[in-house]
Chain A
């Protein structure tokens, strides 16, 4: 990538600095409009956006108080998609919870599946196989690419650029096909099990994924060329919804929202899991904490995810995907049919579920939306006493009023898009 960047550097009048990072195009209005415009008096207007509105990315309802076109107050109302997943989880075996996790962050179901398995394995003290670790890294990074492609496509539509949406969704279709070949589903993947995976990757998957990683950056470059130094894009995103690093920490933001504000916190680096410390990748950091920096951060994360997948494919070892532990993994079907002991294990496993010891575990991962943490409390039975999801989108969304007050109504849409919410996870 660096050589390509340097060619662009020569062509560009502005936009990319010596290190190849995106630079400020001096077009942004910088300060919030409310600070520059005199108060003309008049009545405030109250408008309701959503819950059924294409720009709220799901069933989010925003009640907005406006002074002219300037947002004075935003009151988000969430809960329209509340499904009580955490309550349902208390009535299910650990493996039966996996299908619920698909439906939370439905733009990145595989990373949700992975964190569930990791949390239960932490609770039970199970060490998974090497091949399983690498495959789970691939799953996490694939879902990061999928989620960021959707984010970038829908956000560009919100801000008025239609073309990148079509390009990015074409790429998303290709990686969805790979995901479908592996898990059998495009959305409800349910691809992990406690102690392993539902299935190994199919024939030809590695080549397909390598091919995807090689070629999808080409589309990213095209989108980069279309947006990053585009005057309208910069004008609509720079200086909009800015949060300082201290504010971002104060609001417990995570993921790209936090990093765009200049705080280098990435769970993959700071609390490594799945051997992420052995992969070579960069964590992009923003400076200004505005919508533009969030865009740049997510953009670069998408490229880095491709890098991680390539490394993971290079090191993918042979061997079993499941641990050799009859407590958690079903014995093979042939053994169940021919061998009494395996049949008993199979029966107990299906009827009683995986039993976790008394204790509790909090397992965070860096999901595409931010720090996604599953917190399990077990009393020794096969069903958790408490299953808490730390929802990154929910907690990031809480800062929306702070970010958007003082901006134009149209900027509110851009700011809301930059949070990268998925209502399935916000409402759970």
Chain B
């Protein structure tokens, strides 16, 4: 058993709900509302020194009544110690937890992936967008247990949507989320980009050609 588990109990008391061990790794179940505080302490307390965030992921169990666990794996590069924390989120409530990007910049994409795959919102995440699926993906969250392996929509519907999608619209300024650049464009160009009409240049009205 990792001694950090006892130290966490001493420091956070009621926020540590359970401590178990599996295959040699200590697992500490923590109160999801205090995750950021606990991880910041683990990182900064000199005798803990868990400075390396290995991974953030989530686990949903086959038993639908069990909560979804958000799993944090941390490692101390100096002490060579490994610890796993789990924050269970009740499925009956909105799935949301504090982001740990303020503690580790590397958490950014890991949390985006968890959001993308499980629909868990990370509060105060700087850029919480889908990452592996596309922005307009409408079928839900693929790694949830109620998500069928082939997707929620029928094959026919998936094909219809894929064919109906405007691939050019994907490259419009708004889609790139570079808003400042988009506002600097001429109004007519912005409209055309918004409609996804890329590469089509409006013909000047007939009879008004000017001699330069």
A interface residue numbers (CB < 8 A to B): 43-44, 46, 48, 63, 65, 73, 75, 78-79, 82, 84, 86-88, 91, 122-123, 125, 247, 249-253, 263, 265, 270-271, 359-362, 364, 371, 373, 375, 377, 379, 385-386, 388, 390, 394-395, 397-399, 402, 427-428
Q: Does B142 contact A (CB under 8 A)?
A: yes
Among residues of B, the one whose C-beta sits closest to the C-beta of A377 is B59
**A385 with B106: CB separation less than 8 A:** no
Bitwise, B24-65 to A at CB < 8 A (1) or not (0) is 110100000000000000000000000111110101111100
**A361 with B109: CB separation less than 8 A:** no
Q: What's the Cα separation between A65 and B173 when bound, in Å? A: 12
Among residues of A, the one whose C-beta sits closest to the C-beta of B27 is A360
Contacts A87-B142, A388-B57 known; list 18 others, CB within 8 Å: A63-B176, A75-B176, A78-B132, A88-B149, A123-B23, A250-B106, A252-B52, A252-B53, A252-B104, A360-B25, A361-B23, A362-B84, A390-B55, A390-B73, A394-B113, A395-B109, A397-B109, A399-B105
Q: Please indicate which of the listed interface residues A75, A82, A123, A386 has the most CB atoms of chain B within 10 Å of its own CB.
A: A386
Complex contacts, A385 vs chain B, CB 8 Å? 59, 61-62
Q: What's the Cα separation between A63 and B182 when bound, in Å? A: 14
Q: A interface, by DSSP: helix, strand, loop or mixed? A: mixed
Bitwise, B102-144 to A at CB < 8 A (1) or not (0) is 0011111110010001000000000000111110000000110
Q: Does B12 contact A (CB under 8 A)?
A: no
**A364 with B54: CB separation less than 8 A:** yes
A82/B73 contact (C-beta < 8 A), A125-B23, A250-B105, A375-B55 known: no
Q: What's the Cα separation between A265 and B78 when bound, in Å? A: 9
**B77 with A362: CB separation less than 8 A:** no
Q: Does B153 contact A (CB under 8 A)?
A: no
**A395 with B59: CB separation less than 8 A:** no
**A270 with B22: CB separation less than 8 A:** no
Selected from A87, A373, A428, the residue in CB contact (under 8 A) with B54 is: A373
Selected from A82, A251, A375, the residue in CB contact (under 8 A) with B132 is: A82
**A371 with B132: CB separation less than 8 A:** no
User: What 6 A-B pairs have minimum CB-CB distances, sorted nearest first?
Assistant: A252-B106, A79-B132, A398-B109, A361-B23, A359-B22, A251-B106
Q: Does B206 contact A (CB under 8 A)?
A: no
Complex contacts, A397 vs chain B, CB 8 Å? 109
Q: What's the Cα separation between A307 and B176 when bound, in Å? A: 47
Among residues of A, the one whose C-beta sits closest to the C-beta of B137 is A79
Determine how close the nearest CB of chain B comes to the CB of A203; give it in whole angstroms: 38
Q: What's the Cα separation between A54 and B59 when bound, in Å? A: 36
Complex contacts, B59 vs chain A, CB 8 Å? 377, 385-386, 388
Q: What's the Cα separation between A250 and B23 when bound, in Å? A: 28
Complex contacts, B77 vs chain A, CB 8 Å? 249, 263, 265, 270
Q: B interface, by DSSP: helix, strand, loop or mixed? A: loop
A386/B60 contact (C-beta < 8 A), A82-B133, A249-B52, A375-B55 known: yes
Bitwise, B9-22 to A at CB < 8 A (1) or not (0) is 00000000000001
**B54 with A371: CB separation less than 8 A:** yes
**A373 with B55: CB separation less than 8 A:** yes
Determine how close the nearest CB of chain A comes to the CB of B94; give it in whole angstroms: 22
Selected from A46, A250, A361, A362, the residue in CB contact (under 8 A) with B181 is: A46
Q: What's the Cα separation between A43 and B182 when bound, in Å? A: 12
8 A Cβ contacts from B70-85 to A? 71, 73, 77, 80, 82, 84
A-B contacts, 14 of them at CB < 8 A, read A43-B184, A65-B178, A79-B133, A84-B142, A87-B142, A87-B143, A125-B23, A249-B77, A361-B22, A361-B25, A371-B54, A377-B59, A385-B62, A399-B106
Complex contacts, A379 vs chain B, CB 8 Å? 61-63
Q: Please indicate which of the listed interface residues B106, B149, B184 has the most CB atoms of chain A within 10 Å of its own CB.
A: B106
**A73 with B132: CB separation less than 8 A:** no
Complex contacts, B71 vs chain A, CB 8 Å? 375, 388
Among residues of A, the one whose C-beta sits closest to the C-beta of B173 is A46
Complex contacts, A125 vs chain B, CB 8 Å? 23
**B55 with A388: CB separation less than 8 A:** yes
Selected from B105, B133, B176, the residue in CB contact (under 8 A) with A46 is: B176
Q: What's the Cα separation between A46 and B176 when bound, in Å? A: 10
**A375 with B23: CB separation less than 8 A:** no
Q: What's the Cα separation between A84 and B80 when bound, in Å? A: 32
Determine how close the nearest CB of chain A comes to the CB of B63; give it in whole angstroms: 8
Complex contacts, A388 vs chain B, CB 8 Å? 55, 57, 59, 71
Determine how close the nearest CB of chain B comes to the CB of A428; give it in whole angstroms: 8
Bitwise, B136-164 to A at CB < 8 A (1) or not (0) is 00000011000101000000000000000
Among residues of B, the one whose C-beta sits closest to the C-beta of A248 is B106
A360/B22 contact (C-beta < 8 A), A43-B184, A253-B106, A386-B60 known: yes
A427/B132 contact (C-beta < 8 A), A43-B184, A385-B61 known: yes
